[in-house]
């Protein structure tokens, strides 16, 4: 028996944006739009009334901002996942949204598959890291580790080097060449980093870093 579709609430004050998202989402076999809101306050009321799996939340809306609405929805029902929608790829929005309880954000000018990937990730309880900020987030994590944060004492100097190069976007082969080690050793260091922090992917690394205060917006 197939799993039920992901139930989605769209919150955006532009009708044409809602229409485009609705068309995209309803075209997926595993998703369905169950409601639409035109402002932040309406999104909170509808989310409380319908309990969707995922809310696509525009950050800039009248009456109540998307970040304020996210806080209100999560306070009412922590099981509802939120994906922010923004016009600009700005890591400050990402931080504010995650602090409010969202699972990440999608840039409106991005590719359609990014929105669909974010919805599916949120429905599984995972964070969606926009490619434009992933390297920056990990880079900030490394800087704070190098500053001697007590939470990261288990990470060796070599592991910090590997993590920093990953943050810069280097491939495993490129890291191996630069550090003059084997690709298998790079993979082992990557696994050790995640294991020592009890993390399993980049999304969990970001959540951990924000929760521990290791990453902050400028």
Residue range 101-117, pLDDT digits in tens: 888 888 888 889 999 99
Report the chain's terminal Cα–Cα distance, integer Å. Answer: 48
Helix axes 131-146, 157-167, angle to 10 degrees: 160
pLDDT band at 67 (very low <50, low <70, confident <90, very high): very high
CA-to-CA dists, residue 141 to 135, 144, 166, angstroms: 10, 5, 12
The range of the structural domain enclosing residue 103 comes to 6-128
Residue 42 lies in a domain: yes
**With 70 as the cut, is the pLDDT of residue 41 above it?**
yes
Residue 204 lies in a domain: yes
- pTM exceeding the 0.75 threshold for the entire prediction: no
7 compared with 136, residue with greater pLDDT: 7
- Domain boundary pick from 128, 148, 182: 128
Give the CATH number, domain containing residue 65.
3.40.50.2300
Judge if 86 and 142 occupy the same domain. Answer: no
Judge if 99 and 20 occupy the same domain. Answer: yes
Judge if 55 and 143 occupy the same domain. Answer: no
Cβ–Cβ contacts within 10 Å for residue 183, how many?
Answer: 14
Judge if 49 and 99 occupy the same domain. Answer: yes
Rg value, the chain, Cα = 19
Residue 201 lies in a domain: yes
Residue 216 lies in a domain: no
Q: Using CA atoms, how far apart are residues 154 and 148, in angstroms rounded to an integer?
A: 11
Judge if 12 and 104 occupy the same domain. Answer: yes
Residue 53 lies in a domain: yes
- Domain boundary pick from 93, 112, 128: 128
């Amino acid at each position: 028996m197939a799993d039920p579709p992901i139930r989605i609430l769209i919150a955006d004050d532009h009708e044409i944006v809602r229409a485009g998202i609705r068309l995209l989402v309803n075209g997926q076999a595993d998703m369905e739009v169950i409601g639409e809101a035109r402002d932040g306050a309406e999104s909170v009321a509808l989310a409380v009334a319908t309990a969707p799996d995922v809310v696509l939340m525009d950050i800039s809306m009248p009456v109540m901002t998307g970040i304020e609405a996210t806080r209100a929805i999560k306070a009412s029902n922590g099981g509802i996942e939120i994906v922010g929608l923004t016009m600009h790829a700005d890591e400050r929005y990402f931080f504010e949204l995650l602090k409010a309880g969202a699972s990440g954000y999608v840039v409106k000018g991005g590719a359609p598959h990014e929105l669909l990937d974010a919805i599916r990730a949120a429905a599984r309880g995972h964070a969606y890291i926009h490619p434009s900020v992933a390297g920056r987030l990990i880079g900030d994590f490394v800087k704070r580790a190098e500053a001697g944060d007590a939470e990261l004492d288990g990470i060796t100097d070599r592991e910090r080097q590997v993590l920093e190069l990953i943050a810069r976007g280097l491939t495993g082969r490129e890291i191996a060449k630069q550090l003059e080690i084997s690709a298998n050793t790079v993979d082992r260091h990557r696994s050790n980093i995640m294991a020592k922090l009890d993390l399993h992917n980049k999304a969990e690394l970001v959540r951990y870093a924000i929760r521990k205060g290791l990453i902050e917006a400028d």
